[in-house]
Amino acid sequence: MNILINKQTQFIDLGLVDYQQAWDYQTQLFNRILEIKKENRDKPAQDQQPTPNYLLFCEHPHVFTLGKSGDEKNLLINIQQLADIGATYYHINRGGDITYHGPGQIVVYPIFDLENFFTDIHQYMRLLEESVILTLKELGIESGRIKGLTGVWLGEGEQARKICALGVKSSRWVTMHGLAFNVNTNLSYFDYIVPCGIDDKAVTSVAKEVGGQVDIASIKNQLSRKLESLFELQLT
């Protein structure tokens, strides 16, 4: 357990960034935190360093990502067809199955040392979902969870539709990857996959629900404030 609890969190908006570039950057930050934790184990308490936390926001060009336990059959097109629709594909080291990222979608990558907050990965996932649920509530959109499924959903039963997907990786309580929140997302790209391996549920976006494009910068600001409050972050 950390002797030096640090809730200071550096907020970085990467803008529209290539998926591989963002993944490499996440990995660099993630590995640095693990390195500090490893060094701290061999030091007396007074010499230990606090571990940093980072909150990355971004959007990606069209890309499909498959989690480590996902099924490649859930990508419904081949390599040539990927090129035809201007998309790329990565098999990555997060949990979950396949999802889509693209312009108009807010992607959030918390690179946290959870020992600075709490050591419960399920609580972590639920708070990520809650940040989106509370953001949607401010937009007049009621959302929630579906038992046995991750993410944020609108409606229920046959009307259920997913507006936010989650997929994370953690090691020694350090997190990476995160959530993808459909705001002004081109939902037609979800037709090329079985989203999250779930073939009987639809996907949606804020724009689809309200009937037009919305100010994504404003929603990013609201979402960052919800995360700041829920995790008791000190954003810098």
Write out the catalytic residue numbers.
196
First-to-final CA distance of the chain:
24
CA distance 205 to 144: 14
Report the amino acid identity of residue 20: Q
Q: Is 151 exposed, middle or buried (0-12, 13-18, 19+ CB in 10 A)?
A: buried
Bridge partners (DSSP) of residue 202 are: 161
Question: 141 with 181: CB under 8 angstroms?
Answer: no
Report the amino acid identity of residue 235: L
CA distance 51 to 35: 9
27-36 in b/e burial notation, b at 16+ Cβ within 10 A? eebbeebbeb
